[in-house]
Amino acid sequence: MTAIDRRGMLLAGAALAAASATGTASARILPSAMVPLIGPGYRPVDADEKGMWQQMARVEEEIAGSNLVVNDPALATYLQGLIGKVGGPAARDFRIYLVRVPDFNAMMFPTGFAMVFTGLLLRMRNEAQLAGVIAHEAAHFLRKHQIRQWRDMRTKTDLFAILAMGAGVAGGAAGVYTGDLARLGELGTILSLLRYNRELEAEADALGVRLLAEQGYDPRAMAETWEQLIAEEELSAKYRRKRRDKDISLFGTHPTPESRMADLRLSAADVTRPGVMYDARRASYLAAIAKIRPTLLDDQVKLNDPGASQYIVNNLAQDGWNGLLRFNEAEIWRLRNRTGDDLRAAQGYAAAVLYPDAPADAWRWHGIMLSKAGRQSEARAALTRYLMITPNAPDAAFVRQMLAS
């Protein structure tokens, strides 16, 4: 398998669709000025857009059949319902796919199908934040940004010929960070030809805020998402002793993310109506992702980006610590494995098992750390608890042997 740098893949994957490059326009676009250009059942009329739709139908077929797509009917139904809420007049025509890639990304393709990365679900604290990202992507379709942007650049590139060369690149993907993930990046490179200019991104932000508020979601959620993303990138860069990357995965290249965040806050104020109670719908969101949340955290921590992972865990913990978060906090330090990290990990596992929802692995690692510290009696108790919770764990026989000796 060809080696692929995580950040290189992140940037290529960010280009998977036209939603991948952004900036701020010279003047903020008002939400009230944004009117959808597409209604229910839209189909292209012009020859060039028909050609684009034909190519995108092939791409959707490949993506839908990829092993990267998360097979969780309940979660798929939840996401489909969400895009149905904030998708505007074309909402019933949208399709949405969840793919297991632990990066912060989402994108809308020119024919009305969207992809959401699992890394995005992990970072969202509530339904309003996720709905804001999806509304932004829907706005690109509603404003016909893909074909508008392509027509601006068609004299430079034979886009359809290049897209034809890319047919099938997504279908070969098999598993998370195995097989042909490089091909996913290749698909992103191909579709980066549809990157939006700053004005179109500003339009999508303005219409997205409006769509969000119209469905009763707190419109400030979009700016909050930006704030979180910037802070995560800052801490990740700090741990790597580097400056924050100018490129941010979900929104591609843009020089002033702080300016865009500020514009989103102003737009949220524009659409907020006095006396209306807006909801973040945190409880419904946590219920929807409860089954997959341990996997989301595990995928992130195993990237071994301790700055980003630490920020994500602490940010989620603003709504309350639990055993799952404490366990993954400990895992961050165990995997980093620098001086002092072993002690930090041991403290984290000890904290995790105090919660009733502590994962079974928290008890296993708590027992191992106690054994390393020479506290054998306590270690035996922790490992015994681990076997009680998961008697058929893959390492159960090994743990029983440890206890017997």
73 and 153 assigned to the same domain: yes
> Do the domain assignments include residue 306?
no
Cross-strand bridge partners of residue 248: 252
154 and 217 assigned to the same domain: yes
151 and 232 assigned to the same domain: yes
113 and 242 assigned to the same domain: yes
> Do the domain assignments include residue 303?
no
User: Which CATH number is 336's domain given?
Assistant: 1.25.40.10
Looking at per-residue pLDDT, the higher value among 284 and 192 belongs to 284
Supply the pTM of this predicted model: 0.84
Burial per residue of 68-80, b for 16 or more beta-carbon CB atoms within 10 angstroms, e otherwise: bbbeeeebbebbb
Share of the chain above pLDDT 70, in %: 80
Q: Is 124 exposed, middle or buried (0-12, 13-18, 19+ CB in 10 A)?
A: buried
262 and 390 assigned to the same domain: no
pLDDT tens for 16-25 read 333 333 333 4
What is the rounded CA–CA span in Å between residue 91 and residue 81? 9
Domain-ending residue, one of 271, 306, 329: 271
Query: Can you give the residue range of the structural domain that contains 49?
Result: 6-271
> Do the domain assignments include residue 165?
yes
Looking at per-residue pLDDT, the higher value among 226 and 25 belongs to 226
Asked whether the predicted pLDDT for residue 1 surpasses 50, the reply is no
Domain count, the chain: 2
Instruction: Identify the sign of the CA torsion 297, 303, 307, 308.
Output: negative
Looking at per-residue pLDDT, the higher value among 194 and 231 belongs to 231
What is the rounded CA–CA span in Å between residue 384 and residue 403? 8
251 and 116 assigned to the same domain: yes
> Do the domain assignments include residue 314?
no
206 and 347 assigned to the same domain: no
67 and 143 assigned to the same domain: yes
> Do the domain assignments include residue 291?
no
261 and 332 assigned to the same domain: no
263 and 372 assigned to the same domain: no
What is the rounded CA–CA span in Å between residue 51 and residue 253? 28
Domain-ending residue, one of 229, 251, 271: 271
Give pLDDT, residue 155.
55
> Do the domain assignments include residue 312?
no
Which structure tokens are listed for 197? 């200019």
261 and 394 assigned to the same domain: no
> Do the domain assignments include residue 1?
no
> Do the domain assignments include residue 14?
yes
pLDDT tens for 139-196 read 999 999 988 877 776 655 554 444 444 444 333 333 333 334 445 555 555 456 557 7
Give pLDDT, residue 58.
84
